[in-house]
Structure 1
Amino acid sequence: MLQVVWFKRDLRSSDHAPLQVAAKHGPVLCLYVVERDYWQLPDTSDRQWQFVRESLQDLHHQLQALGAALQVVEGDLITTLNAIRAQHGPLALHSHEETGNLWSFARDTAVARWCRQQQVVWRQYKQFGVQRGSERNRDQWSQWRQQWLEQLPAPCAPITHSVATSAALAPAQWPQSVKTDPLPCPGRQPGGRTAGLALLQSFTQQRGEQYRGSLSRTDSAARHGSRLSAHLAYGTLSLREVCAATQRAQASATGRWRQSLAAFASRLWWHCHFIQKLESQPTIETTPQITVLQQLPSCSDLERLQRWQFGTTGWPLVDAAMRYLHHHGWVNFRMRAMLVSVATHTLQLPWQCVAEWLAGQFVDYEPGIHYPQVQMQSGLSWNPVLRIYNPTTQAQQLDPDGRFIRRWVPELANTPDAWLQQPWQLPTTLRQRFAGAADYPPPMVDHQLANRQRKAAIAAIEQREGIIRPSQRPAGSTNRRQRGSNPPARAVNKQQLSLF
């Protein structure tokens, strides 16, 4: 029977259980489907596709070395599977589990239904330390994840019988573009396993020593961070091999190296923790975890949204971070948190449109991390800390010499240090003396006043509704969560390989 390996966010041949199992059970067809409907969603972008396209090219070469060829088809999966079945007869389907957005959840539900109707066995395999079904006890989940990480599979054996589909595109025919992005991304990371392995090696052997303490800094995060997030999001590297490489480096590390590698290992744990949240509560993409906070005031002013999107808010560090993101498709965690906080708290923009815009800007967009993080930074999750950032204080702490602001907000390049982080205080009589400063817009709101009002609004709702965040609870008490505050988990369908 034909074994179809469906590649999604797992664009590699190494540590790829679907490929390894399929190769042992019959002729193999390695399939990637360019799903045009997916690429038109507001949380996807061409900059992401360009990374994927380069990763597909690299994967094609990896499979050729094993004796196979990647079959890239445009369309939808069910239509493609019907065509393959008509051409080759009965088939089995293999893929990794995916905790994606609601679109991919609905797509997978439709594929599962088709498989049941057509009596096609669909076997899914773990991609991350994430369990299907309802949220688990953290300690039990952590123990299970560790056991899963230790199950390192053998490299994929050569594929002795590879099959093609008549609908496949030649590599030269793969789409050059899937949509028009509003902004170019010339500093985007290159895709592909080869690039990912080089980053992993340089991080664990050279760049990572100053990882701890560098991630929040505007001048060092890109250099000393792992920069592996996009490669984990699209699976050019497997989580298990990244964890294994980190453990090997830890074994001989001392001092600062050891501390930095331990900090990175803890981030890999949180990576799975947040994806598990979306897996267990898929409506986090659209509904606040604390549902009563939907009552918070929001502003749908298009000018506010566009000025935030295009880096003209009037707060220099906010605008510098957004423009850096435009250029690179990546920005460090602290800047991401600040962008969300300013948008949802200070400007009171709806968090959903904020999440969609940033998702499309991030080359490393991972839904399971992105949506829980946006909710956390917007104060909508059960996180004990309410994060509302002061953009001036952040600039003073993270860019004290102003180099980041001057690089990415060139209008302020000649502005003296005394006014660089608060250019709206520059006396009118002096604005014309500094080239570009007169063209830089003032802030849309008083951020201190706006942030105080936001904190008061959240506190008022929580007090009225009896909401107590974890850090505020008396010892031994339980949290009063409103009906519907925990969206239903994905139900387990035991008839289809415990798929959903």
Structure 2
Amino acid sequence: MHLHLVWLKKDIRLSDHAPLHMAVEAARAQGGRVALLYCLEPKLIKQPDSAPQHFEFARECLEALASQLPEHVPLFLAKANALVAFQTLALSGVDQLSLYSHEETGNWASFQRDREIKAWCKNKQVKWHEFANNAVVRRLKNRDEWGKLWLETMRKPVLPVPVFDDLPQAMQFDFPQALHTQLQENGLPCVPLNHSPWPTWGKVDHFYPKHFTDKAHRQHGGRPQAEACLKAFLNERGMNYRFEMSSPLSAESACSRISPYLAFGVVSIREILDMLGQAREQLTQSNLPAKSQTQWRQSLKSFESRLHWHCHFIQKMESEPELEHRSAHRGLNGMRNFGELTAQEQSRAEAWIEGRTGFPMVDACMRMLRATGWVNFRMRAMLVAFASYQLWLDWRHTAPMLAREFLDYEPGIHYPQFQMQSGVTGINTLRIYNPVKQAKDHDPDGVFIRRWIPELKNIPNEWIGEPWNTPLLLQQECGCTIGEDYPWPVVNPDTAIAQARANITEFRQRKGFVEESKRVYEKHGSRNPNRNGTLKRKRSNVKQKDGAVEAEAPDNAQQSLF
């Protein structure tokens, strides 16, 4: 039997799925059977960036996808590392195996896994057909032409869901059940999801410690949920997106919230752009007032630019997988402590991730994130910057901690963004967020803070962003004594920033800093001077300031705004 196996990773969909299309066409032309496989990989699940919410979201997406497949095209769920699954398949009555998948820009563990599978396929003469994921280019020679490649990719038509009806049917035996039995006999826990319910061995508590739990208030997975979410944004919620994305109060409904579905590949960038084009056409034909149409056009344009930035950041990780554990600017690797955390650093890290730093805007955002798996981009940037500057924690300690909290965790965006917000790229403007100012700018009446920190509910607006300055008698009247009912700030808000700036200045003045910054820009910098949020100068005219190459990047233009 020739098995055309589509290996699903973070591309849990049927439409705009090039590997699936090729597998179906190959089976139609060459004969054989088509099956899909998703592996619950213990090696990846045990990584420090993995969390139950990711597991459960993927489960919901897979169950929704399985319901769309005919009986003779099974979606197998296996409890095994991918290499073990393929090795077992090769021993289970499969005479010839052809493998089809998207390229994945994941974490370091998935990168190493793919290298092992590549070697195994070569040794066993298994053809592995890999396809680019969105507009991320593997083995990109340089960034100069990447913008052009992005446009070429996105202008290609969306691939429809393949036609399965005329594929070879199982004649003499039940293909899904027969293969399932053979895999089980060879020691691989495996079940066809479009024939069976989710197995007990695939429950989340089989993979995570009991104190790791799912988020009760997160978004739910599945193609229908993704389509409904995007439709609501493009037709109802998104008119004020451009102006309401920064405040955690308005962003919760004004942002598209499509990012988890992108992270798990439930929809592709090209599909979203297609729906975006349809929304523009409907807007042109609508009877909305001119002012409303203008607002919609501005918001849709702003949203579209984020789709480009999505691929731009993942391309960084694709070109340099080491960005998960090494600063882009190698001269900044030792700026903070990456060894074992001191007792003080451990205490600060725990206060930060648990939302009890004593800075209300930081704590409210973290508590929202821990409850829902989402918070808007500006507040994400503030959380990262606060940990990196005020708390002076190395990003390699805090990045995995926050990855577990983001439902839409995308390694290719997460690590380059973490580095940018932590000031270790050498080419981006430093952004040290003042949590008190952020509270005044984006939550002046304390509505958001009080929602997530009820112990501060009676503190007057004047002090809600800096409750430690509330007069003691007033604290007592409000029933919230700082240091008892709500913590004192874990650091002095003024001296912490001053010390961070001094530390950074010292490193930026070191010999070789500018030369290394230029290398980083040549490898990762955006080349389009006209796009919002990219470098505002030509490559030949990169300016220097305080011993650093300065490059502007948007503080609100990444995937997490979707």
TM-score by length of 2: 0.82
Query: Aligned match of 1:337 in 353, 369, 381?
Result: 381
Query: Aligned match of 2:278 in 211, 231, 248?
Result: 248
Aligned partner letter, 2:203: Q
Task: Give the direction of change, closer, same or farther, for the CA distance of 1:117–1:101 in structure 2 (3 Å limit).
Answer: same
Q: Deviations over 1:306-357 (max 9, x none)?
A: 1001000000000000000000001110111000011011001121121001
Aligned partner letter, 1:69: P
Contact 1:96 1:124 in 2 (8 A): yes
Q: 1-side partners of 2:97 and 2:307: how far apart?
A: 36
Identity %: 38
CA apart distance, 1:439:
1.2
Q: Residue 288 of structure 2 corresponds to which residue in structure 1? A: none
Q: Are 1:220 and 2:221 counterparts?
A: no
Query: Aligned match of 2:370 in 319, 326, 329?
Result: 326
Q: Residue 495 of structure 1 corresponds to which residue in structure 2? A: none
Q: Are 1:443 and 2:489 counterparts?
A: yes
Q: 1-side partners of 2:539 and 2:67: how far apart?
A: 58
Q: 2-side partners of 1:18 and 1:91: how far apart?
A: 14
CA apart distance, 1:133:
1.2
Q: Count residues in correspondence.
A: 479
Q: Deviations over 1:179-208 (max 9, x none)?
A: 145455111100011100111111111111
User: What SS class does the counterpart of residue 249 from structure 2 fall into?
Assistant: coil
Moved more, 353-362 or 289-298: 289-298
Q: Residue 18 of structure 1 corresponds to which residue in structure 2? A: 19
Contact 1:54 1:191 in 2 (8 A): yes
CA apart distance, 1:46:
0.3
Q: 2-side partners of 1:85 and 1:248: how far apart?
A: 45
Q: 1-side partners of 2:414 and 2:420: how far apart?
A: 10
Alignment of 1:250-269 (within 5 A): 250-253=280-283, 254-269=293-308
CA apart distance, 1:290:
1.2
Q: Are 1:108 and 2:114 counterparts?
A: yes
Q: 2-side partners of 1:264 and 1:472: how far apart?
A: 20
User: What SS class does the counterpart of residue 318 from structure 1 fall into?
Assistant: helix
Q: 2-side partners of 1:48 and 1:473: how far apart?
A: 40
Q: Residue 141 of structure 1 corresponds to which residue in structure 2? A: 146
Q: Are 1:356 and 2:400 counterparts?
A: yes
Q: Residue 286 of structure 1 corresponds to which residue in structure 2? A: 325
CA apart distance, 1:85:
1.8
Q: Residue 499 of structure 2 corresponds to which residue in structure 1? A: 453
Q: Are 1:176 and 2:176 counterparts?
A: no
User: What SS class does the counterpart of residue 437 from structure 2 fall into?
Assistant: helix
User: What SS class does the counterpart of residue 306 from structure 2 fall into?
Assistant: helix
CA apart distance, 1:473:
9.4
Task: Give the direction of change, closer, same or farther, for the CA distance of 1:479–1:110 in structure 2 (3 Å limit).
Answer: farther
CA apart distance, 1:21:
1.0
Moved more, 224-233 or 417-426: 417-426
CA apart distance, 1:124:
0.6
Contact 1:12 1:62 in 2 (8 A): no
Q: 2-side partners of 1:210 and 1:410: how far apart?
A: 29
Query: Aligned match of 1:63 in 62, 66, 69?
Result: 69
Q: 1-side partners of 2:336 and 2:249: how far apart?
A: 36
Q: 1-side partners of 2:80 and 2:494: how far apart?
A: 50
Question: Gaps spanning 5+ residues in structure 1: where?
Answer: 486-500
Q: Residue 413 of structure 2 corresponds to which residue in structure 1? A: 369
Q: 2-side partners of 1:475 and 1:91: how far apart?
A: 47
Query: Aligned match of 1:310 in 351, 354, 360?
Result: 354
CA apart distance, 1:382:
3.4
Q: 2-side partners of 1:397 and 1:127: how far apart?
A: 38
Contact 1:32 1:73 in 2 (8 A): yes
Alignment of 1:73-152 (within 5 A): 73-87=78-92, 88-134=94-140, 136-138=142-144, 140-152=145-157
Moved more, 215-224 or 379-388: 379-388
Contact 1:375 1:381 in 2 (8 A): yes
CA apart distance, 1:157:
1.1
Q: Residue 50 of structure 1 corresponds to which residue in structure 2? A: 56
Aligned partner letter, 1:237: V
Q: 2-side partners of 1:415 and 1:383: how far apart?
A: 41
Contact 2:52 2:212 in 1 (8 A): no
Moved more, 70-79 or 159-168: 159-168
Moved more, 226-235 or 380-389: 380-389
CA apart distance, 1:69:
2.2
CA apart distance, 1:161:
3.6
User: What SS class does the counterpart of residue 188 from structure 1 fall into?
Assistant: coil
Task: Give the direction of change, closer, same or farther, for the CA distance of 1:246–1:383 in structure 2 (3 Å limit).
Answer: farther
Task: Give the direction of change, closer, same or farther, for the CA distance of 1:472–1:256 in structure 2 (3 Å limit).
Answer: closer
Q: Residue 532 of structure 2 corresponds to which residue in structure 1? A: none
Contact 2:52 2:213 in 1 (8 A): no
Q: Residue 555 of structure 2 corresponds to which residue in structure 1? A: none
Task: Give the direction of change, closer, same or farther, for the CA distance of 1:213–1:377 in structure 2 (3 Å limit).
Answer: same
Aligned partner letter, 1:270: W
Aligned partner letter, 2:243: G
Moved more, 431-440 or 419-428: 431-440
Moved more, 449-458 or 171-180: 171-180
Q: Residue 439 of structure 2 corresponds to which residue in structure 1? A: 395
Aligned partner letter, 1:38: L
Q: Residue 172 of structure 2 corresponds to which residue in structure 1? A: none
Task: Give the direction of change, closer, same or farther, for the CA distance of 1:203–1:302 in structure 2 (3 Å limit).
Answer: same
Aligned partner letter, 1:6: W
Task: Give the direction of change, closer, same or farther, for the CA distance of 1:376–1:396 in structure 2 (3 Å limit).
Answer: same
Q: Residue 231 of structure 1 corresponds to which residue in structure 2? A: 261
Task: Give the direction of change, closer, same or farther, for the CA distance of 1:218–1:473 in structure 2 (3 Å limit).
Answer: closer
CA apart distance, 1:221:
0.8
TM-score by length of 1: 0.91
Question: Gaps spanning 5+ residues in structure 2: where?
Answer: 28-32, 170-174, 184-189, 284-292, 519-534, 550-562
Aligned partner letter, 1:441: P
User: What SS class does the counterpart of residue 151 from structure 1 fall into?
Assistant: coil
User: What SS class does the counterpart of residue 333 from structure 2 fall into?
Assistant: helix
Q: 2-side partners of 1:435 and 1:132: how far apart?
A: 58
> Superposition RMSD on alpha carbons, in Å?
2.1
Q: Residue 490 of structure 1 corresponds to which residue in structure 2? A: none
Moved more, 449-458 or 157-166: 157-166
User: What SS class does the counterpart of residue 401 from structure 2 fall into?
Assistant: helix
